[in-house]
Structure formats: C-alpha cells, structure tokens
Chains A and B, each alone.
Chain A
Amino acid sequence: NAGVTQTPKFQVLKTGQSMTLQCAQDMNHEYMSWYRQDPGMGLRLIHYSVGAGITDQGEVPNGYNVSRSTTEDFPLRLLSAAPSQTSVYFCASQTRGYTEAFFGQGTRLTVV
C-alpha cells in the first residue's frame, strides 16, 4: 500500500499565484487533514474532513480552500499565494475516532 501520497514534493510560487496541493490515501480512512509545519511552531491544522462532502476549518485556515468529493482525495488550494504561506505542508489520514494519523511525505512550498 502507498499510504498517503502528496504531490508535488517541491514548489516555488510567485506572490499572487494560485495552486493546488494534491493528497491521496489508499487506506479507506474517513478522516483527512492538512497541516503546515513552520520552524518553532510545530504542526498546525489548516483544514480537515470527516468524510466525503464534509470539510471544516482548523487553526490556520485563512488563504486556503479545500473540498472532498471522494474518500481518497483531499486537495488543498492556495487562492492567492503570499510569502507567509512559505512552509512545509503535510496531509494526513485517520480512521474514525481518536486514532493516530498517518502522514504523507510533505510538500515544501516557497512563495517569492
């Protein structure tokens, strides 16, 4: 099994550009999440989904958009990139309940 797959691994954007970070999981997990990781800040929750068609905001949602049309996929959209969105982004999936999250390998995004 591939687990959680994120693409791309690296991306450089210009301020104001938009893009979509892709995330797919093959474990049939109901819950999926997006986190960003910044030095000294730990991992912070951006958006999450408890099932297809259901999404909600996390701790730092501004500037990001998500949708979940299938169980497997949970893309993260940057609407108008800003330098403050320079970070490493991780997608994660979990089974229902208070369970461990399985993470992808991350996308390192630089906004110039």
Chain B
Amino acid sequence: EDQVTQSPEALRLQEGESSSLNCSYTVSGLRGLFWYRQDPGKGPEFLFTLYSAGEEKEKERLKATLTKKESFLHITAPKPEDSATYLCAVSAGGTSYGKLTFGQGTILTVHP
C-alpha cells in the first residue's frame, strides 16, 4: 500500500526565516511526486511535479527536491502570503491511471 507522511504537521516562521517541509513516501514504483498549496476554503493548487531522484524545481521562493525516499519543499525568505497548507502526493506504477495518494499536509504560518 502506498503511503505518504508529511512533517511537521504545523510550522510557524517569522518573515524571512527560511525552512523546509518534508514528505516521506513508500510506494511500489514512483511515477511522480506532486506538491500542492491549499488556501483555506479553496481547492489544492498545483505547484510542482518531480519524476526522478535528484530532480529539482523552483518557483519564486519555493524549491522542491526529490530523493528515493523523500521530497523536501524549501521555502527561502518566506512572506506572510506564503501561509497555507502544503500537500504532497505520489502517483505510483501498476495502473495506467495516475491515482494520487496524499499526505496529511503541513500547515505553514508566516508571521510578519
């Protein structure tokens, strides 16, 4: 059974204080790892896809990296508008359909 565990559950940062969110996964044949951002009362918003170990993607203050067992979402000099829940999901092999298995998310709060 595919499993995704995110840590920490909640993270509070001061504006400008860089940190990382972790996503550990156990799957049989990783096909893709996805990061989403979710604001209160909204649907998840796609951020990044990573397909193979060593791959990195960047967008503004966010950088996602991938190893064979985990992914990190690095946040550099965060701003209050980066406050949100960050979700990690994996898609595994075995079927032709990319079903997503999600972690529980990390609630990020950035204080001014």
Contacts and interface: CB of A to CB of B under 8 A. Distances in A.
Interface string B61-78: 000000000000000000
Contacts of A103: 43-45
Contact of B102 (A43, A50, A96): A43
Interface centre among A4, A31, A33, A43 (most CB of B within 10 A): A43
A42 B104 contact: yes
A33 B97 CA distance: 11
A31 B104 contact: no
A70 to B, nearest CB: 18
Main secondary structure of the interface of B (DSSP, over half): strand
Given A41-B104, A101-B34, 12 more contacts: A42-B102, A42-B103, A43-B100, A50-B97, A90-B43, A97-B96, A97-B98, A98-B98, A99-B98, A101-B46, A101-B98, A106-B41
Main secondary structure of the interface of A (DSSP, over half): strand
Nearest to A91: B43
Interface of A: 4, 31, 33, 35, 40-45, 48, 50, 58, 90, 94, 96-106
Contacts, number: 61
A83 B5 CA distance: 27
Interface in B90-105: 91, 96-105
A31 B104 CA distance: 23
Contacts of A42: 4, 87, 102-105
19 contacts: A4-B43, A33-B100, A42-B4, A43-B100, A43-B102, A45-B100, A48-B99, A58-B99, A90-B43, A94-B98, A96-B96, A98-B31, A98-B98, A99-B98, A101-B34, A101-B100, A103-B43, A103-B44, A104-B43
